[in-house]
């Protein structure tokens, strides 16, 4: 349509006016944008710069290498072994199923594992590596490494994992490590962030647990740049952590191995201690278990097998087991009476085989009685009536006080799990525990280590060492940390009269070295190493009068778990005591037959620093002993093979 000039002018005028209005609006918008830009990038710059850095930089912890554990001679007890594993990353693999199928041809992957892998792959972001196989053999590992070009997304990795080369020998003392559980985290008020690293291992029981802070070390860290999905782009900075500190135990791994083998299949415990320093030379509980199973994550089947075993392999019987000490307690009663001046070594009592008290009759183990008994004879022949008599005069409170001085009924602080305090009862204890008055009958029972009295093999060893030295020896398990020896304070004297102690030790010598002594057959022939000790047999059930009338059934005829515990405490050499030993054989029968021979072998092994020579044994036993020792030698571990000695 043709327009007039006027219309054209009018049109242009209108458009110009409107476009100027629009231009104004645009300028205003530009101003708004500019101001906003300034606000974001100038005024809020610092805040956003920080956020950008937070986006970009991640801290990753570098797990520290766990401290090693050695025995007193530098034999490795707990080490870190290289753990070969293979991971797969979904994102890099492309066709994951095909890659996994190819991998299955190289290394064994069970259907179960495959299910877990698939589940993990689905559950995690595509860039997260998933463990396909753990603890591969070197052969399998290198197969994967060599085929890496055909396996996109598959990475062979090397990590560190705890390893216990001595297997069951230290399962109870050293314990084991395992993956950090929720409970581990809850127990700690401020858990070290390193515990949150997946695959990180923490001490679960034993030294591994109680020395965790020493062994763990501190984590290093690296600052890494990550992209939006958290994938690592590069490492910016790295601070190495400090590895955990190495521990040296007081235990001699060879002795430990010898004793563990000597205990064999018995449900038993044996503690050997240096009487002068308190260093624990051996601390064996049998049967043991393979701690490596727990590190790997024990299977349900293995675990229930351990739980259902009536010999309780998981229990550390040396510190955890609390047994009625039986006759091994007699030294305590005697010392209490001697200290009170109520008896002298020459005091005698007549033993008719029982003691009548009120309407109750307390029997001596020997039905016919021991006749006239003095202190030495009461120990060597283990007369019970003698102790019934003197205990009534001394009273339980004095006996308990003496027990405590000798280390019973108190907790010895060692880095081991489930350490039992035992029970050293007195009047107040019974009132508090049972709400009942203490009765003389309780004292009579306690005088021979029955009734309420309970003690662990460790406590009995401490008791023996204190009797042998007259000093308040304190047990020790850690010899050095990172090569720095732990301080070794000299034990305080117990303040007991020398005569009294001498009389007790004399009695213990006679137990072993007189014809009538209960452990004569377990004597040491070598005079310079003469053995002193005390046997004990503790009932795990009450013998009723009716039973007694029928004739007491011999142990052999009882079911295993109803038989008596066999106990033995001793030290050697008699003249110049060096080592104390305790052996407890659960349901082993008599202490002289079941426990004393083990104690002799153990202490001879320590004294000789090797398998004891036959000359140490009485001549008439050598034939049998030779066979036994040879059989034992077969079972010993060659520690020169496994020990990466670092001493």
Partner 1 sequence: MSFLEYRVKTVPGGLRKVFYLNWPLVVLITAVAAVGFLILYSIAGGRMEVWAEPQMKRFAAGLVLMFAIALVPIWFWRNMAGLAYGTSLLLLLAVEFFGVVGMGAQRWLDIGPLRLQPSELAKVTMVMMLAAYYDWLDLKKTSHPLWVLIPVLMILVPTFLVVIQPNLGTSLMLLMGGAAVMFAAGVSIWYFAVVAALIGGLVFAVFTTRGTPWQFLHDYQYRRIDTFLDPSADPLGAGYNIMQAKIALGSGGWGGKGFMQGTQSRLNFLPEKHTDFIFTTLGEEFGFVGAFSLLILYGLILFFCFTSALQSKDRFSQLLIIGLSANFFLYLAVNLSMVMGMAPVVGVPLPFLSYGGSVMLVLLIAFGLIQSAHVHRPR
> Is the C-alpha dihedral spanning 191, 193, 196, 202 positive or negative?
negative
Q: Is 47 in the site for partner 1 (CB under 8 A)?
A: yes
Number of residues that bind partner 1 (CB under 8 A): 45
Site for partner 1 in 259-278 (CB under 8 A): none
Return d(Cα 583, Cα 590) in angstroms, integer.
12
Q: Is 34 in the site for partner 1 (CB under 8 A)?
A: yes
Q: From the CB of 125, what's the least distance to partner 1, in Å?
A: 13
Tokens representing residue 140 in the block: 């399998």
> Which listed residue (183, 228, 301, 550) binds partner 1 by CB under 8 A?
228
Where do the H-state alpha helices sit in 107-170? 111-123, 138-146
Q: From the CB of 45, what's the least distance to partner 1, in Å?
A: 4
Of the candidate spans 14-22, 338-346, 397-405, 546-554, the one that interacts with partner 1 by CB under 8 A turns out to be 14-22
Return d(Cα 254, Cα 232) in angstroms, integer.
48
Q: Are 295 and 203 in contact (CB under 8 A)?
A: no
Of the candidate spans 8-16, 212-220, 235-243, 427-435, the one that interacts with partner 1 by CB under 8 A turns out to be 8-16
> Which listed residue (146, 233, 428, 488) binds partner 1 by CB under 8 A?
233
Return d(Cα 247, Cα 206) in angstroms, integer.
13
Of the candidate spans 37-45, 149-157, 278-286, 420-428, the one that interacts with partner 1 by CB under 8 A turns out to be 37-45
Q: Is 229 in the site for partner 1 (CB under 8 A)?
A: yes
Report the DSSP pairing between strands 532-538 and 565-572.
antiparallel
Q: Is 26 in the site for partner 1 (CB under 8 A)?
A: yes
Q: Are 584 and 325 in contact (CB under 8 A)?
A: no
Q: From the CB of 13, what's the least distance to partner 1, in Å?
A: 9
Closer to partner 1 by Cβ: residue 224 or 335: 224
Tokens representing residue 151 in the block: 């396996």
Entry field: residues in the chain = 647
Q: Is 125 in the site for partner 1 (CB under 8 A)?
A: no
Q: From the CB of 219, what's the least distance to partner 1, in Å?
A: 25
Q: Is 18 in the site for partner 1 (CB under 8 A)?
A: yes
Q: Is 227 in the site for partner 1 (CB under 8 A)?
A: yes
Q: Is 225 in the site for partner 1 (CB under 8 A)?
A: yes
Tokens representing residue 171 in the block: 């399962």
Query: For residue 43, which of 31, 35, 52 has the smallest C-alpha distance?
Result: 35
Of the candidate spans 49-57, 60-68, 84-92, 398-406, the one that interacts with partner 1 by CB under 8 A turns out to be 49-57
Q: From the CB of 4, what's the least distance to partner 1, in Å?
A: 9
> Which listed residue (12, 101, 305, 307) binds partner 1 by CB under 8 A?
12
Helix axes 457-469, 330-339, angle to 10 degrees: 40
Q: Is 236 in the site for partner 1 (CB under 8 A)?
A: no
Q: Is 237 in the site for partner 1 (CB under 8 A)?
A: no
- Going residue by residue from 101 to 120, which x/- string records binding to partner 1, judged by CB under 8 A? --------------------
Return d(Cα 510, Cα 504) in angstroms, integer.
10
Could you count the other beta carbons within 10 Å of the beta carbon of residue 360? 13
Site for partner 1 in 350-379 (CB under 8 A): none
Q: Is 188 in the site for partner 1 (CB under 8 A)?
A: no
Return d(Cα 313, Cα 513) in angstroms, integer.
35
Query: For residue 614, which of 439, 39, 623 has the smallest C-alpha distance?
Result: 623
Closer to partner 1 by Cβ: residue 57 or 305: 57
Q: Is 44 in the site for partner 1 (CB under 8 A)?
A: yes
Closer to partner 1 by Cβ: residue 57 or 428: 57
Q: Is 11 in the site for partner 1 (CB under 8 A)?
A: yes
Could you count the other beta carbons within 10 Å of the beta carbon of residue 624? 10
Of the candidate spans 13-21, 289-297, 423-431, 434-442, the one that interacts with partner 1 by CB under 8 A turns out to be 13-21
Q: Is 55 in the site for partner 1 (CB under 8 A)?
A: yes
Closer to partner 1 by Cβ: residue 52 or 488: 52
Q: Is 30 in the site for partner 1 (CB under 8 A)?
A: yes
Q: Is 560 in the site for partner 1 (CB under 8 A)?
A: no
Q: Could you give the 3-state DSSP secondary structure of residue 521?
A: helix
Q: Is 630 in the site for partner 1 (CB under 8 A)?
A: no
Q: Is 36 in the site for partner 1 (CB under 8 A)?
A: yes
Of the candidate spans 38-46, 175-183, 573-581, 615-623, the one that interacts with partner 1 by CB under 8 A turns out to be 38-46
Q: With b meaning 16 or more CB within 10 Å and e meaning fewer, what string describes 293-310?
A: bbbbebeeeeeeebeeee
Could you count the other beta carbons within 10 Å of the beta carbon of residue 211? 23
Closer to partner 1 by Cβ: residue 20 or 631: 20
Closer to partner 1 by Cβ: residue 36 or 633: 36
Return d(Cα 57, Cα 136) in angstroms, integer.
34
Could you count the other beta carbons within 10 Å of the beta carbon of residue 348? 15
Closer to partner 1 by Cβ: residue 10 or 626: 10
Q: From the CB of 88, what's the least distance to partner 1, in Å?
A: 23
Could you count the other beta carbons within 10 Å of the beta carbon of residue 6? 8
Q: 392 exposed, middle or buried (CB, 10 Å; 0-12, 13-18, 19+)?
A: middle
The residue whose two tokens read 């609390």 is 322
Q: Are 323 and 454 in contact (CB under 8 A)?
A: yes
Query: For residue 346, which of 357, 334, 356, 331 has the smallest C-alpha distance?
Result: 334
SS (H, E, C) 452-470: CCEECHHHHHHHHHHHHHC
Q: From the CB of 50, what's the least distance to partner 1, in Å?
A: 8
The one catalytic residue in 327, 378, 382, 538 is: 327
Q: Is 238 in the site for partner 1 (CB under 8 A)?
A: no
Cα-only R_g, the chain: 37
Task: Please give the backbone phi and psi of residue 313, each rounded to the nearest 5 degrees, phi first.
Answer: -60, -25
Tokens representing residue 236 in the block: 């910016």
Q: From the CB of 91, what's the least distance to partner 1, in Å?
A: 13
Does the annotation count 538 as an active-site position?
no
Q: From the CB of 130, what's the least distance to partner 1, in Å?
A: 22
Closer to partner 1 by Cβ: residue 185 or 236: 236
Q: Is 340 in the site for partner 1 (CB under 8 A)?
A: no
Return d(Cα 528, Cα 585) in angstroms, integer.
28
Residues recognised as catalytic: 327
Residues that bind partner 1 (CB under 8 A): 1-3, 7-8, 10-12, 14-16, 18-19, 21-23, 26-27, 29-30, 32-34, 36-38, 40-42, 44-45, 47-49, 51-53, 55-56, 225-229, 233
């Amino acid at each position: 349509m043709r327009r007039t000039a006027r219309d054209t002018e009018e049109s242009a005028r209108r458009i110009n006016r409107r476009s100027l209005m629009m231009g104004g609006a645009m300028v205003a918008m530009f101003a708004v944008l500019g101001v906003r830009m300034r606000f974001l990038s100038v005024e809020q710059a610092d805040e956003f710069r920080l956020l950008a850095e937070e986006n970009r930089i991640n801290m990753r912890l570098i797990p520290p290498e766990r401290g090693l554990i050695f025995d007193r001679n530098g034999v490795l007890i707990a080490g870190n072994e290289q753990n070969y594993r293979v991971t797969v990353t979904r994102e890099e693999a492309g066709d994951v199923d095909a890659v996994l199928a190819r991998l299955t041809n190289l290394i064994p992957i069970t259907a179960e594992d495959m299910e877990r892998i698939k589940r993990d792959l689905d559950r995690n972001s595509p860039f997260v590596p998933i463990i396909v196989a753990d603890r591969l053999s070197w052969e399998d590992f290198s197969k994967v490494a060599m085929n890496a070009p055909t396996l996109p997304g598959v990475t062979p990795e090397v990590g560190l994992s705890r390893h216990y080369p001595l297997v069951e020998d230290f399962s109870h003392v050293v314990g084991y490590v395992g993956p950090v559980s929720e409970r581990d985290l809850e127990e700690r008020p401020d858990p070290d962030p390193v515990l949150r690293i997946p695959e990180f291992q923490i001490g679960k029981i034993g030294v591994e647990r109680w020395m965790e802070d020493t062994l763990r070390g501190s984590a290093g860290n690296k600052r890494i740049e990550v992209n939006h999905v958290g994938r690592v782009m590069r490492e910016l900075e790295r601070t190495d952590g400090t590895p955990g500190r190495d521990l040296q135990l007081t235990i001699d791994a060879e002795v430990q191995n010898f004793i563990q083998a000597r205990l064999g299949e018995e449900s038993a415990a044996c503690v050997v201690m240096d009487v002068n320093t308190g260093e624990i030379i051996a601390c064996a509980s049998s049967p043991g278990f393979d701690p490596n199973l727990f590190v790997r994550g024990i299977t349900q089947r293995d675990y229930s097998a351990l739980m259902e075993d009536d010999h309780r392999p998981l229990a550390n019987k040396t510190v955890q087991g609390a047994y009625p000490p039986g006759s091994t307690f007699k030294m305590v009663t005697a010392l209490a009476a001697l200290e009170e001046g109520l008896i002298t070594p020459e005091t005698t009592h007549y033993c008719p085989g029982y003691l009548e008290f009120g309407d109750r009759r307390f029997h001596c183990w020997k039905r016919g009685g021991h006749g006239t008994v003095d202190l030495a004879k009461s120990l060597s022949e283990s007369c019970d009536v003698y102790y019934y008599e003197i205990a009534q005069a001394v009273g339980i409170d004095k006996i308990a006080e003496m027990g405590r001085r000798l280390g019973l009924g108190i907790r010895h602080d060692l880095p081991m799990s489930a350490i039992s305090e035992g029970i050293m009862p007195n009047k107040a204890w019974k009132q508090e525990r049972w709400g009942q008055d203490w009765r003389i009958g309780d004292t009579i029972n306690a005088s021979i280590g029955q009734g309420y009295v309970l003690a662990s093999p460790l406590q009995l060893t401490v008791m023996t060492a204190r009797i042998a030295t007259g000093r308040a020896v304190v047990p020790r398990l850690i010899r050095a940390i990172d090569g720095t020896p732990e301080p070794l304070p000299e034990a305080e004297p117990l303040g007991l009269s020398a005569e009294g102690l001498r009389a007790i030790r004399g009695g213990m010598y006679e137990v072993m070295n007189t014809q009538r002594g209960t452990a004569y057959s377990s004597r040491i022939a070598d005079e310079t190493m003469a053995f002193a000790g005390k046997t004990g047999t503790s009932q795990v059930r009450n013998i009723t009068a009716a039973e007694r009338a029928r004739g007491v059934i011999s142990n052999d005829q009882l079911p295993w778990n109803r038989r008596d515990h066999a106990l033995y405490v001793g030290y050697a050499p008699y003249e110049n005591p060096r080592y104390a030993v305790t052996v407890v054989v659960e349901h082993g029968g008599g202490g002289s037959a079941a426990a004393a021979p083990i104690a002799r072998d153990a202490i001879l092994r320590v004294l000789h620093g090797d398998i004891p020579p036959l000359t140490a044994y009485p001549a008439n036993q050598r034939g049998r002993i030779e066979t036994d020792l040879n059989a034992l030698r077969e079972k010993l571990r060659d520690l020169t093979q496994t020990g990466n000695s670092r001493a």
